[in-house]
Amino acid sequence: MNEGNGGAKPPQGESGHVSRVRRLVQSRGFNGFIALLVFVDGWTICLDADARARALATPAWAQIVSIFCLVLYTFELALKLAVGFGLWGQKLNLFIILTGYLEIILSLSANPSVLLSVLRAVRCVRIIKLLASLRDAGLSSLTQLENIMLLCMKDLFWSSCLCFLIMTSFAYLFVEIINPLYQSTDVDFPVCERCHRATSSIMDANLFLFQTVVVGDNWGEVALPVINNFPGSAALLIGAYLTIVFGLLNLIIAVVVNSFQNIQQGEEADELEADETSLQKIFQEIDVQGDGKLNYENFLEGAAKNPDFKGRLGLLNIKQDDLRDLFQRMDVDGKQLINAQQFSRVLRSYNRHGKYDIVRCILRQEDLAVAIDTGFSRLTDRMDNLSYKAWSHWPRLNLTQSTGK
């Protein structure tokens, strides 16, 4: 579904006109306009489908708007191909355009064929173009939802296969156990016209289970008559309900949620890796000696001259007066030299606005706590020393008092 604008890289020596066209087709405004165009086109498609379903003529203005949208799709494709977008990368646009023109040609014929109905149904593919255009327009939330949906399609597919397999197993038991009971009894079920048919084949039993267990439709009208006439079937029906609803369907939800969580963790890991790479690059740029070490002077010079480092400090709300404290936090061994790991570790922890001030207060509170503990330890040592000296002079004091008496 990726027919986005990231596939074209500007070649060296590109002319000014081509460069402007490239910026146009890659801009958010252009892709937003295409998304609006696809939305209008989809509206006319719905009007056409409603009119044909009611055996009415499609409004002429809706047909004109639909053809106009198709012409603009062609113009968009021509622009992208002109600036170097690969034809294979534009396969969705090419498919929409070719099927659109073929539909127009077939609709002009006197005897519409089955292919025309198929082409009209294929028009729903244009909704994918709408999603792609909205993604290229810069809607990050929609992009994230698209990526998660695509990555979780595999889990949903295998979950559906497992659900069908378990329902088929219960359907087999229905056909083998309950259907012979129907065949061997003369009891009529006037209130349950589907009871006989529900157990007559595996597929009918599957549909019966899907209707009553998964969807929860007509449980009282279909399942209860079977249980009332054959009480032993309650074990199968209730067992299928507990297994599929409370077990399998909840398990599917858990698997999908776990996939979402894994995707989110993977994205966070990618962001951390990209952030680490960016910080390592900044460190290498401000490490003028190239020895993998920075002193405080190099650190200040990099903060003043390196635009990436300066922008990073501005983003973290770190002022010039805070650089000494920041360097001391990096210099954990007190050697007045920091390496790349110390540099990136501290800066990576201050990754949001205002967070540096909070963390700095916490760190200073920790320093104050250490200082208080150290002071109390020294005070305790002094008190112990004074106590020892006082007790050492205590016998001499008693002797002096006795002599005086």
Q: Which residues, 6 or more positions from 211, have their beta carbon under 8 angstroms from its beta carbon?
A: 217, 218, 222
pLDDT tens digits, residue range 102-122? Answer: 888 877 776 666 677 777 777
Residues 155 and 227: their CA atoms lie apart, in Å, by 35
- pLDDT of 3 reads 46
Confirm if 150 and 135 have CB atoms less than 8 A apart: no
Low pLDDT (below 70) residues in the chain: 1-16, 86-89, 110-114, 131, 134-140, 142-143, 184-195, 222, 350-363, 393-405
- Residue-range domains of the chain with CATH: 16-138 (1.20.120), 151-267 (1.10.287.70), 291-354 (1.10.238)
Amino acid at 261: Q
- pLDDT of 279 reads 82
Number of Cα atoms under 13 Å in the Cβ half of residue 282: 25
Helix, strand, coil % over all residues of the chain, rounded to 5: 80, 0, 20
Burial of 174 (0-12, 13-18, 19+ CB in 10 A): buried
- pLDDT of 217 reads 76
pLDDT tens digits, residue range 266-279? Answer: 877 888 888 888 88
Q: Which tokens hold the place of 132?
A: 């792609």
- pLDDT of 396 reads 56
CA dihedral for 119, 121, 123, 126, sign (positive or negative): negative
User: SS3 for 108?
Assistant: coil
Please give the C-alpha separations between residue 88 and each of 24, 94, 129, 182, 374, in angstroms, as whole numbers.
Answer: 21, 9, 15, 59, 70
- pLDDT of 360 reads 59
The predicted model scores a pTM of 0.52
